[in-house]
Amino acid sequence: MICPDTPPLLAQSLADLRSARTTIRLGGQFTKDRIGGRLVGEGTPVSTRNLSRILRYRPNDLTISVESGVRWSDLQQELGRNGQMIPLDPPWSGGCTVGGVVAANQSGPRRRLFGTARDCVIGMTFATLEGKLVQAGGMVVKNVAGLDFGKLMIGSWGTLAALAIVNFKVFPIARGTRTFLFESASLAAAIECRDGVLKSVLQPLSVDLLNPEASAALGWNGFALAVQAAGAPPVLDRYQAALAGFRVIDCAVWDRIREFTPDFLARHPDGVVVSKSSTLTGVADAVRELPGPVVSRAGSGVSYGHATHDVAPNMEKPGGFEIMERIKRMMDPDALLNPGRLHGLL
C-alpha cells in the first residue's frame, strides 16, 4: 500500500501510477468498502492515512485545516478540547478519516439542523492524476472566489482526485442535549408526529424514524421517531413541554443510531445497505419499501434499508449525466481512480 505523508507526495504517487496505467484503490482507512459500490478489479491501494497533521486550528476564528488522513475521532477530540465540533456525525466515526467522510459525503442524525459536508467544508486541496495540487475555497467562512470544486469532490468517492487537505468551519458544542422518543404501531401516526415537529417552531438537531425491525434492535416498539434537541436547560425544557406524547430517553442512543449501518454490516458478512433519497413527503414510502431494518433521516429525506444479501442498487442515470461523464474523462481519462465506486455510475 502506498501511503504518502505529504500532499506533494500524494500528487506524485498518483502521477506515477497514472503513467504506469495502474488502477488505483484510493481511500483513507477503507472503512466504507462495503458501501457506495464495490471496487472493480484489484487496484494498487493508495491511502491518505499518513497525511495526518492538523495544519491550522484557530479556535477564536472557528476554523480548522487538516490533512485528509486525520482520523475523524481525533479531529473531533482536538476540537472538543476547546468546546468545539464539526457538526457532522458520520457512521464508522471511530475509524474513518476526514477525507473519507468528505469524499463519501457521509453525515448522520444531526443532518437535520447542520446539513452535510456541503455546508461545513470551506476549502480544500486535492491531488489530481496529473500530479498537481489544486486549491478550492480557503480558510474563511464566506468565499466565492473561483469555482467551487469542493462541492464536486464532496460525494465523488475518490473517482476524480484525491483529497489532501480539508478546511472546515467549526461550531460550539451545545450546552446540553435531550432526546425524545415517540413509538407507534402505525407508520402514518409516526409520520404525522414528524410533520408536527417539522412544522412547529422547534429546531431539533435530529429527527430520525426507525421501522419496527430497526427499533426492536434498540429495544423499542413499533415505528419509532427519535428527536434530539440541543441548548441550555430552559430550551430543552421547552422541547419537553412541546413534545407531549414523547418520552425522554438517554442521548447515548444516538451513537447506536449513527453506527446502525456499520453494526449491521459487521453482523452480516453478505449484508448490504440500500439508501434512498426522497422528499420529506416521500419518506413514508421509502420506509415501507426499503428492505430489512430501516433507519430514516426523516427530517432530511435520506433513508437506509439493510438487506442480508446483495441487492442490485437502482441506479437511474441522474440529470446532467453526460456532463458528469465528461468531467470524469477530463480528470481521469483512463478510468483508473476507484473504478466501480459510486456504484459504477462514473
Partner 1 sequence: MIPEAALAETARILGPRGFLHSAHDLSLYEYDGSVDKHRPELVCFPRSTQDVVELVKLAARHGLPIVGRGAGTGLSGGAIPLAGGMMISFSRMNRILEIDLPNERAVVEPGVVNLDITLAVAAEGYFYAPDPSSQRACTIGGNVAENAGGPHTLAYGVTTNHVLGLEAVLLDGSVIEIGGKAPEVPGYDLTGLLTGSEGTMALVTKIIVRLMRRPEAVKTLLAIYDTADDAAETVAEITARAIIPVAVEMMDGMLLRLIEDSVHAGYPRDAGAVLLIELEGLTEAVEEQVEQIQQVCGLCRARELRVAKTPEERELLWKGRKNAFGAVGRATPHLYTQDGVVPRAEVPSTLRFIEKVAAEYRVQISNIFHAGDGNLHPIIMFDMREPGAMDRVRAAGEKILEHCIEVGGSITGEHGVGMEKKELMDKLFSPDSLDLIRRFKQLFDPECRLNPGKVLPTGRGCLEIRQRPDDLRY
Alpha helices in the chain (DSSP H): 7-19, 72-80, 98-103, 111-114, 117-120, 149-153, 187-199, 212-217, 233-242, 253-258, 260-267, 283-289, 321-331
> Is 268 among the residues that bind partner 1 (CB under 8 A)?
no
> Is 218 among the residues that bind partner 1 (CB under 8 A)?
no
Exactly one of 38, 53, 268, 343 binds partner 1 (CB under 8 A); which one?
343
CB 246, min distance to partner 1, A: 17
**Stretch of 18-26, 91-99, 274-282, 332-340 contacting partner 1, by CB under 8 A:** 274-282
CB 99, min distance to partner 1, A: 17
CB 40, min distance to partner 1, A: 17
CB 220, min distance to partner 1, A: 26
Cell of 9: 507526495
Mapping DSSP to helix (H, G, I), strand (E, B) and coil, where does residue 253 land?
Answer: helix
**Stretch of 216-224, 227-235, 246-254, 288-296 contacting partner 1, by CB under 8 A:** 227-235
Residue closer to partner 1 (CB basis): 46 or 174: 174
Nearest 5°: CA angle at 307, between 304 and 311?
95
Q: Residue 20: CA atoms inside 13 Å, Cβ hemisphere, count?
A: 10
Cell of 155: 460525494
Q: Please check whether residue 302 is in contact with residue 275, taking contact to mean a CB–CB distance below 8 angstroms.
A: yes
Q: Which residues make beta-bridge pairs with 249?
A: 179
Give 112's contacts (C-beta < 8 A, 6+ positions apart): 204, 205, 206, 207, 297, 299, 300
Q: Please check whether residue 127 is in contact with residue 14, taking contact to mean a CB–CB distance below 8 angstroms.
A: yes
Rounded to whole angstroms, the Cα distance separating 7 from 112 reads 33
> Is 141 among the residues that bind partner 1 (CB under 8 A)?
yes
Give 41's contacts (C-beta < 8 A, 6+ positions apart): 23, 339, 340
**Stretch of 14-22, 87-95, 116-124, 212-220 contacting partner 1, by CB under 8 A:** 116-124
**Considering CB under 8 A, how many residues would be counted as binding partner 1?**
80
> Is 52 among the residues that bind partner 1 (CB under 8 A)?
no
Mapping DSSP to helix (H, G, I), strand (E, B) and coil, where does residue 230 land?
Answer: strand
3-class DSSP string for 51-99:
CCCEEEEEHHHCEEEEECCCEHHHHHHHHHCCCEECCCCCCCCCCCEHH
CB 285, min distance to partner 1, A: 12
Give 57's contacts (C-beta < 8 A, 6+ positions apart): 63, 64, 65, 78, 79
> Is 198 among the residues that bind partner 1 (CB under 8 A)?
yes
Exactly one of 135, 177, 240, 308 binds partner 1 (CB under 8 A); which one?
135
Please list every residue from 293 through 322 that binds partner 1, using CB under 8 A.
Answer: 300-302, 315-321
CB 121, min distance to partner 1, A: 11
Pairing, β 54-58 against β 121-127: unpaired
> Is 44 among the residues that bind partner 1 (CB under 8 A)?
no
CB 1, min distance to partner 1, A: 26
Residue closer to partner 1 (CB basis): 234 or 269: 234
Please list every residue from 143 through 172 that binds partner 1, using CB under 8 A.
Answer: 143-152, 154-156, 160, 171-172
Rounded to whole angstroms, the Cα distance separating 31 from 3 reads 16
Q: Please check whether residue 3 is in contact with residue 97, taking contact to mean a CB–CB distance below 8 angstroms.
A: no
> Is 62 among the residues that bind partner 1 (CB under 8 A)?
yes
Residue closer to partner 1 (CB basis): 253 or 287: 287
> Is 323 among the residues that bind partner 1 (CB under 8 A)?
yes
Residue closer to partner 1 (CB basis): 288 or 317: 317
> Is 285 among the residues that bind partner 1 (CB under 8 A)?
no
Please list every residue from 248 through 267 that binds partner 1, using CB under 8 A.
Answer: none
CB 21, min distance to partner 1, A: 22
CB 48, min distance to partner 1, A: 19
